[in-house]
Amino acid sequence: MKNSYRKLEVYIGTLGAMFFWGIAFVWTKIVFEYYGPFTTLLFRLVISSVLLTFYAMVTKKSEKVSRKDWPLFLLIAFLQPFCYFIGESFGLLLVSSTLASIMIGFIPVIAPIFAYLLYRERLSAVNIAGLIVSFLGLAIFTTTGSAHLEASVKGLLFLLFAVLSGIGYILVVKNLSQRYRPLTIVRIQNMIGGLYFLPLMIGFEWEKTLSVNPPANVILNLVMLALFCSSLAFILITVSIRELGISRTSVFTNIIPVITAISAYFLLNESFSERKIIGMAIIISGLFLSQYKKRKTARIILER
């Protein structure tokens, strides 16, 4: 029973992470009216690092990182948010947001292959069917059903770069999560990530950043992005990777566009069609299938 409650907590936490990342697009859209993308990411990571460091000091949950693990921490910060953000951002400049969503949806389809090769994570036929169903639901959710998708090769390569970066990040975090608290992983990841973005902000957005006098709502959105999206969501997803595994965690990313669309509907008055409702239902159905596990109770009783 205790394990069941623990598993339920992990699922709720994973859904919480997806909710924060889904609504992040709405908050980011508001911040982008004043700050460039590199500045926004830098501020998010700096604020997050300060908050997490303060929390670790107050709760006495600071951990010393082994010297042999520093290359892995440098790597996860490089993969996410640095490489992933650059690949996704430049990809969105060259292809439609619809095609970008579908490309990013390949993460939970491809990740299980690497999860099996590196960690021997196994999925049942039902779980694999769930991954495919969820991806098909994402395709329905993000397309109009009439227009064909135009693709820029360069844009697709940028998005593929983002997909591979996201998968690489999950694989390395799985390794680190066996030895460090999620708090430690995310805190150090964001500190290093901020250093990666600093030269880009200075080189491309320094003058614009200095000239901005942001209103209170922009500052509030930046703090919420840092607290909920760059801090809490990554901590929750690290717990999920450790407890549920790479394959079962990554499929949850397919509901991010759903949360974004719902948030935009209520906060930005964007439309929400019947096709999106159907796609959302299929995504959620696939999500349930991907998490299905046969109970072993009957077999244990027979063995006794």
Count up the domains in the chain and report the number.
Answer: 1
- Full residue range of the structural domain in which residue 248 is found: 2-303
Rounded Cα gap, residues 103 and 241, in angstroms: 21
Reported as half-sphere exposure (CB side, CA atoms, 13 A), residue 153 has a value of 0
Rounded Cα gap, residues 131 and 252, in angstroms: 10
Query: How many residues appear in the chain?
Result: 304
DSSP string, 55-75: HHHHHT---PPPGGGHHHHHH
Give the position of tokens 């982008």. Answer: 32
Please give the structure tokens belonging to residue 124. 């049942």
Give the position of tokens 């209520």. Answer: 266
Other C-beta atoms closer than 10 Å to the C-beta of 237 total 26
Contacts of 261 (CB under 8 A, 6+ apart): 141, 270, 272, 276
| pTM: predicted TM-score of the whole model, two decimal places | 0.88
Helices (H), 212-255: 216-224, 233-244, 246-250
Please give the structure tokens belonging to residue 295. 């109970």
Contact 177, 185 (CB under 8 A): yes
Per-residue pLDDT of the chain (304 residues; tens, 9 = 90+): 667 778 889 999 999 999 999 888 888 888 989 999 999 999 999 999 999 999 999 999 999 999 999 999 999 999 998 999 999 888 877 876 667 778 888 898 899 999 999 998 988 899 999 999 999 998 888 776 654 555 678 888 998 999 999 999 999 999 999 999 999 999 999 999 999 999 999 999 999 999 999 999 999 999 999 999 999 999 999 999 999 999 999 999 988 888 888 887 787 677 778 888 898 899 989 999 998 876 554 343 334 4
